[in-house]
Amino acid sequence: MTVLKNDRFLRALMRQPVDQTPVWMMRQAGRYLPEYRATRAQAGDFMGLCTNPERACEVTLQPLERYPLDAAILFSDILTIPDAMGLGLYFETGEGPKFKKTISTAADIEKLEVIKPLQDLPYVMDAVSTIRRELSGRVPLIGFSGSPWTLATYMVEGGSSKDFQKTKALIYNHPEAAAQLMDKLADSVIAYLNAQIDAGAQAVQIFDSWGGALSHDAYKSFSLAPMAKIVKGLKRENEGRKVPVILFTKGGGQWLEAMADAGADCLGLDWTTDIGQARARVGDKVALQGNMDPSILYASPDRIREEVARILASYGAGTGHVFNLGHGITPGVDPEHAGAFIRAVGELSAQYHK
């Protein structure tokens, strides 16, 4: 195995000393980059990119060619799991993801089978090993999955949703069937992330994009509990190094203490929580990742730099902070502004690590 030349991302996740705050961006490979749009056009469409390991590798590396990022993230999607379960994922231009089949009854849930990642999603593991080879130790590679709750919303609604009516009706009317669905998804995520780790992922993130839409009690039962089960089932060491786990519940600011008890190494924060206050609440239990409002990237480079300075000061001195946006970078962002953001973190953060 090649030596990792820049490991400050992994070190910060384990709350070990670093020389500066590591930084990466959720959705860093994506439509805001003209080179991404060109590769996607060559591949035909988004799924064509995901299923071709060479092209997936190419777009994973594109943001690293432009910016001094401290991590790469596998180019894929969270919806590969429901697709492998037989729901038939497709993308309608301008409308986001859709499924040919949806889950609506207890009988549908009973029939679902836990995925076998090497058999069902070989292209994902091929992409992971191709990217690891091409990175040749520049920075670590992040693998990822959706959370059971977030995956369930797409499977039950048949696509994106604003209010998750059908999925909420399922958990309130049929809690046993809903629990069985979360359990099958948790087992699928465990197998999927462990296969990514075996293929070379050096850290993993669980995206709970819609956990924040749940009530206090429903979050604990239907989102956090299945994620805690996943964390327990993951391989936590590989190639002689810890494989850190990041839990990101968008809108999860009020549940940080409970999330910190789930066993993960790091919690992702969206921009609605003050990172300094979050740090005081979780203490030295976990590292924190975040949390600049992605919309700040529409402001001027000077304003972006100010916001980076504010967040660094709010977190304060010492390790345990991975700088990121509070959610994915959006397609309309000027790539120069993303560059100003990444460079500002590098330039302004060293003073907090003396």
User: Residue 123, interface with ligand CP3 (CB under 6 A)?
Assistant: no
* Cβ contact 288:266 at 8 Å: yes
Among 4, 13, 15, 28, binds ligand CP3 (CB under 6 A): 28
Residue type at 12 in one-letter notation? A
Nearer Cβ to ligand CP3 (97/305) = 97
How does DSSP classify residue 114? -
Annotation-wise, does 262 bind a ligand?
no
Among 7, 58, 77, 83, binds ligand CP3 (CB under 6 A): 77
Within 8 A by CB and 6+ apart from 129, the residues are: 199, 200
Annotation-wise, does 106 bind a ligand?
no
Segment interacting with ligand CP3 (CB under 6 A) among 77-85, 162-170, 264-272, 341-349: 77-85
**Residues labelled as active-site residues:** 27, 31, 40, 77, 154
Among 6, 14, 16, 27, binds ligand CP3 (CB under 6 A): 27
Three-class secondary structure assignment of 84-109: HHHHCEEEECCCEEEECCCCCCHHHH
The three-point CA angle 136-21-348 to 5° equals 120
Q: How far apart are CA 100 and CA 126, in angstroms?
A: 26
Ranges assigned E (strand) in the chain: 72-73, 89-92, 96-99, 141-146, 203-208, 237-238, 241-242, 245-249, 266-268, 287-292, 321-325
Q: Identify residues 206-225 at the interface with ligand CP3 (CB under 6 A).
A: 207, 209
Annotation-wise, does 28 bind a ligand?
yes
Nearer Cβ to ligand CP3 (56/348) = 56
Strands 241-242 and 237-238: antiparallel
Segment interacting with ligand CP3 (CB under 6 A) among 28-36, 127-135, 213-221, 318-326: 28-36
CB of 107 to ligand CP3, least distance (A): 26
Site size toward ligand CP3 (CB under 6 A) is 21
Segment interacting with ligand CP3 (CB under 6 A) among 74-82, 102-110, 257-265, 299-307: 74-82
Q: Identify residues 160-199 at the interface with ligand CP3 (CB under 6 A).
A: 160
Among 301, 328, 335, 339, binds ligand CP3 (CB under 6 A): 328
User: Residue 78, interface with ligand CP3 (CB under 6 A)?
Assistant: yes
Count CB atoms within 10 A of the CB of residue 341. Answer: 25
Helices (H), 21-174: 34-43, 46-50, 53-66, 80-82, 106-111, 117-120, 122-135, 148-157, 165-173
Residue 337: closest CA among 304, 310, 295: 304
How does DSSP classify residue 263? S
Segment interacting with ligand CP3 (CB under 6 A) among 23-31, 191-199, 303-311, 317-325: 23-31
CB of 283 to ligand CP3, least distance (A): 27
Annotation-wise, does 30 bind a ligand?
yes
CB of 65 to ligand CP3, least distance (A): 14
Question: Binding site for substrate: which residues?
Answer: 27-31, 77, 154, 209, 327
- Chain positions contacting ligand CP3, by CB under 6 A: 26-31, 40, 46, 73, 75, 77-79, 96-97, 144, 160, 207, 209, 327-328
